[in-house]
Amino acid sequence: MNCTGNETVCFTLNGTWRGGGPQILKGCATPEVCHLQANTTLGPEASGFHLTAKPECNYVAPTTHPGPHVPVTHTKAKVTVCFTCSDLHHCNPLPCTEDRNYCLQIAGITVLGASNSVSWRNGSCVASKDCTSDNSIFALTYGIGFGFRVNTTCCQGNCQEPPPLATLPASGTLSKFLCPTCPGGHSGPCNHFFYMQCPSGETECVQMNLVSEEGGRNLSVRGCGTRDLCQIGGLPTLPGHRLARWPVCSTTQRAVLDSECHSGAAPGPRLALPVLMVALGTVARS
């Protein structure tokens, strides 16, 4: 049969009429029919058609010259091809199933000093509800050359693996915000006596408690983070560490760097240090 109007899907329904045996129904429908689940009843509960399986759907490809006797061709819904990586440089295609037809792409880097960094990337097939946004950035900076950044994106169709992150964003691009940090290597609770100037885009003051997978040692870090890190509820992955609990984010401890000179003198030069450590009393709270 020729489909008309908004009925752009060819469907197959498996089920039973109330009081009858199994039956298969085929025809044209609107795309919403494809979202029905097994055990749904179409029509009145007492006399409707009870689905025993999820509908099978093929999408109609329009013909060049439609007419009453022109055959209609069908194409299946686009299949997503994700990827899985054995290491940073070797990735293989990974076909996704119909119920997990989105590819969650991850590229990340952890930097622990000028000569110590670890990059990774990977993909996984997920359901649509697990792709909450097109692009999320989980980042935390807690010292000069110390921090991490994880970029996540969602894709459908033939998805290519993202390029590895080679470095963190340029530390010379700084915002006007300052957040508490822990000076040097710190394994205990952070205090509030030292502040750092936040990189551009990292506007939240964050404290994270991490546990090393190797030694099981707790590590408390404090610094500047992105809004995604606070709103979405933590990192998707961080090799070698796991979260002891969700990040603690706050703007009450955030300070604002004021470059104005209130004494009437000309404003001084802007600070160009990647990270600014100052005493708590020298800045104004926001």
Distance of alpha carbon 191 from alpha carbon 163, whole angstroms: 37
Tell me, yes or no, whether 53 and 162 share the same domain.
no
Whether residue 3 lies inside any domain: the answer is no
pLDDT at 275 over 60: no
**Single-letter code of the amino acid located at 257:** L
Domain boundary among 40, 75, 110: 75
| Residue position matching structure tokens 């069908």 | 74
Nearest alpha carbon to residue 151 among 117, 120, 197, 116: 120
Residue 273 lies in a domain: no
Is the pLDDT at 163 greater than 80? The verdict is yes
pLDDT reported for residue 183: 64
Q: Are residues 217 and 151 in the same domain?
A: yes
User: What pLDDT sits at residue 77?
Assistant: 55
Say yes or no to pLDDT of 185 above 90: no
Note whether 92 and 35 are same-domain residues. Answer: no
pLDDT at res. 105 = 92
What is the domain range of residue 177?
81-250
**pLDDT at residue 123, rounded to an integer:** 92
Percent of the chain with pLDDT over 90: 12
Residue 285 pLDDT exceeds 50: no
The answer to whether residues 39 and 155 belong to one domain is no
Output the six-digit token pair for 89.
């440089």
Mean pLDDT of the region 4-15: 84
Residue 274 falls within a domain, yes or no? no
Lowest-confidence range among 45-49, 168-172, 196-200, 278-282? 278-282
pLDDT of residue 259: 61
Most confident of 138-152, 207-221, 235-249: 138-152
Q: What was the pLDDT predicted at 69? A: 53
Residues 134 and 180 in one domain: yes
Residues 45 and 174 reside in one and the same domain: no
| 94 and 234 both lie in a single domain | yes
According to the per-residue pLDDT averaged within each range, which of 37-41, 93-97, 281-285 is highest?
A: 93-97
CA distance 78 to 225: 37
The confidence score (pLDDT) of residue 81 equals 93
Residues 70 and 90 occupy one common structural domain: no
Looking at mean pLDDT, say which of 182-196, 236-250, 267-281 comes out highest. Answer: 236-250
Convert the pLDDT of each residue in 90-110 to its tens digit. 899 999 998 899 999 999 998
CA separation, residue 248 to residues 55, 94, 145, 254 (Å): 44, 35, 22, 13
71 and 139 belong to one structural domain:
no
The answer to the question of residue 88 being in a domain is yes
pTM: 0.59
Which of the residue ranges 15-29, 86-100, 171-185 would you say has the lowest mean pLDDT?
171-185
Arithmetic mean of pLDDT, 119-134: 85
Is the pLDDT confidence value at 6 over 70? yes
Shared domain check, 183 and 127 = yes
196, β-bridge pairs: 179
Domain final residue pick, 46, 75, 104 = 75
- Does 263 reside within a domain? no
Residue 2 covered by a domain:
no
**Residue 274 pLDDT more than 70?**
no
The total of structural domains in the chain comes to 2
- Supply the pLDDT for residue 269: 33
- 280: in domain: no
Residues 6+ apart with CB under 8 A from 230: 204, 206, 247, 249
State the pLDDT at residue 261: 46
* Higher-confidence position of 139 and 51: 139
DSSP per position, the chain: ----TT--EEEEEEEEETTS-EEEEEEEE-GGGGG--TT-EES-TTTSEEESSPPEEEEEEPPSS--TTSPPEEEPPPPPEEEEEEETTEEEEEEPPGGG-EEEEEEEEEEESTT-EEEEEEEEEE-GGG---SEEEEEEEEETTEEEEEEEEEE-SBPPPPPPP-SPSPTT-EEEEEEE---SS--S---SS-EEEEETT--EEEEEEEEETTT--EEEEEEEE-HHHHHTTS-S--TTEEESSPPEEESTT-EE-----TTSSPPPPPP--SS--B-GGGSEE-
pLDDT value of position 283: 41
Do 64 and 196 sit in the same domain of this protein?
no
Q: Quick one: 130 and 230 in the same domain?
A: yes
Check: CB of residue 81 under 8 Å from CB of residue 131: no
Domain annotation covers residue 135? yes
Give the pLDDT confidence score for residue 96 in this predicted structure: 92
Domain boundary among 22, 55, 75: 75
